[in-house]
Amino acid sequence: MGAEVAVLAVGAGISAYSQYEQGRLQARAARQDAKFKRAQAKEMRERMYLEELNLKEQGEEFKASQTAAYAAGGVELGTGATLIALEDTNAKIAKKITDMKRDTMFRANQLEMGASISMQQSGQYAQAGTLGATGTLLQAGATAVSKSSTN
């Protein structure tokens, strides 16, 4: 009888430890996932600012070449269709930058939300592991008491 209870206790201990460790490892993986998603969001925002500078620079170069082409053709720059064309170029550049920033911020915010969810899951995994381990130990204790009272 004593050997049977000892084996039951050892088995329950191993099972409980396994459940606890599984919850702990899943929680750790979820925290790592959250950290990775936050890093991705940060990098995405940093690249957005670099892309904005790049688009502004490209826009300025295009406007300069457009202005040079008008001037070389003898077109007056400050009036009429020429002015409208230059203003249209400015508007297109601004829209492209705005669209890129909106899209990037949306994706970065999605990553941040995913990171928050991963952190919530981390706590849930840890709790589930602890509860599973506790349940296993309680069940083993109840079985040991039952076995000892029947003998």
Instruction: Single out the residue of 79, 55, 56, 82 nearest to residue 69, CA to CA.
Output: 82
- At residue 144, the pLDDT reads 83
- At residue 147, the pLDDT reads 79
The Cα–Cα gap between 81 and 53 comes to 28
Residues 6+ apart with CB under 8 A from 150: none
Q: What is the residue-wise DSSP string for 77-115?
A: SSSHHHHHHHHHHHHHHHHHHHHHHHHHHHHHHHHHHHH
What is the residue whose two structure tokens read 């899943």? 26
CB 89 within 8 A of CB 63: yes
The Cα–Cα gap between 100 and 88 comes to 18
Q: Reduced to 3 states, what is the DSSP secondary structure of residue 75?
A: coil
pLDDT in tens, 25-63: 999 999 999 999 999 999 999 999 999 999 999 988 988
pLDDT in tens, 111-138: 999 999 999 999 999 999 999 999 999 9
pTM: 0.72
- At residue 6, the pLDDT reads 82
Mean pLDDT across the chain: 90
- At residue 55, the pLDDT reads 92
- At residue 106, the pLDDT reads 97
pLDDT in tens, 54-94: 999 998 898 888 888 878 887 777 777 877 888 898 899 99
